Structure 1
Amino acid sequence: MPRGGHAASGPPPDPNALRRNRKSDASGWRTLPAEGRTGPVPEWPLTEPTDREHDLWVDLWEKPQACAWEDLGQALEVALFVRTLAEAERPDARVDVKKMVRSYLDSLGLSVAGMLRNRWKVAPGPEADAPADLQAAVVPRRRSARDRFKVVPRDGG
């Protein structure tokens, strides 16, 4: 029987993995800007959007992933996601529509797994440099079972 079940089978890639000599790593990882995409929102490619679709469309094109979508020419895919998401939000939405939304989240890099599979990471933002008083408030690491081990001298040895 063939291994794997679909293109996304197996664990997603890890940018911090110890072994870095895989063929799939040749293309590397893309770092997306933390501030998101700047510039005008692309024109809506489908039939007239609803108010909700328009709001989602504008919001999505401000995300960091939108930089990659623009480079890859994925405006149509994003519009189809927006339309499907708006339909899935309705109280009477079918389960298959909700499953499609999940698939779009992954393929467009809007979920953690999707970001990893697309080999995208977001650059640290300006808030990554926390003030000193916030750094002092960090809770210390909880002691593990290994930390509680004691070395007991052997008698008669």
Structure 2
Amino acid sequence: MAGMGPPPKPAGQRRRRNATVATTRLPAEGRGGRRAPNWPLVPDVVMAARRDLLAAAVADLEEDLAELEGTRKEASVRRRLETTQEKLAIIKAQMKAQRALEADLWRDLWRLPQAVAWERLRWTRDVAQYVRHKVLAELGDLAAAKEARQWSDRLGLSPMAMLRLRWEVTVDETAAKRAERDRDRSEAETPPATAQPAADPLAALRAV
């Protein structure tokens, strides 16, 4: 009939003007104790390059020192060598600490409730990027600290970031109550410690 529009769409196909994004519920126990994924990133190439350059500089200065032994330039070259050796030792220590801290933080993060969402979204490399910047920040890199804060927001590692991502941590109340009952039962079945009779301080005197 003229003047009539198309028939209305079924309710399931209508666009809701005030539709909201559903909240993602994350279990408080996280991934259930499963191991963290394999570390996906290569070693820190910047730190490795600095180490290699310093090692080459040390080798060159050692050669120069051997050639200049007994000359007036010997003291100057020796000071430069000692300074470069110190820098090399520092960066080697930083790289060792970096590897250990990255491994620890990587393992700890995948125990969080947020790890359930990361796994679903395949954000393994994103989490690794956060770990790298966070560890470098802890080692004193201010630029890495800024990057770590940004990655933290993206990964939902703060209450505000979780709210923005619409993530919510939920507790399995049934499992929690069961664990509480088991704990109470275990405490009830544990026999109380038998009190030992107090020693008589006059017994030794009476025996004399």
| TM-score, length-scaled by structure 2 | 0.47
1:100 matched residue in structure 2: 147
Larger radius of gyration: 2
Shift in Å at residue 40 of structure 1?
2.2
1:106-125 equivalent positions in 2, closer than 5 A: 106-124=153-171
Counterpart-to-counterpart distance in 1, 2:176 and 2:141: 39
* In 1, Cα distance between equivalents of 2:102 and 2:18: 40
Gaps of 5+ in 2: 1-16, 44-97, 181-208
Letter in 1 for 2:141: A
Per the alignment, residue 81 of structure 1 pairs with 130
Residue 42 (structure 2) aligns with:
47
Residue in structure 1 matching 2:27, options 19, 24, 33:
33
Shift in alpha-carbon separation, 1:80–1:128, aligned structure 2, 3 A: same
Give the letter for the 1:78 counterpart.
V
Instruction: Note the aligned Cα RMSD (angstroms).
Output: 2.2
User: Which amino acid letter does the alignment assign opposite residue 22 of structure 1?
Assistant: N
1:102 is aligned with what amino acid?
Answer: R
How many residue pairs get aligned? The number is 106
Aligned mates of 1:112, 1:22 — CA distance in 2: 25
- Looking at secondary structure, tell me which structure has more helix per residue: 2
Q: CA deviation at 1:125?
A: 5.6
Q: Deviations over 1:68-115 (max 9, x none)?
A: 00000000000000000000111x322x32121111111100011110
Q: TM-score when scaled to structure 1?
A: 0.61
Whichever residue aligns with residue 93 of structure 1, its letter is D
Identity percentage of aligned residues? 42
Distance 1:63 1:76 in 2: 16
Which position in structure 2 is the counterpart of 1:13? none
Q: Spell out structure 1 runs of 4+ moving beyond 2 A.
A: 124-129
User: Structure 1 CA distance, aligned partners of 2:39 and 2:161?
Assistant: 24
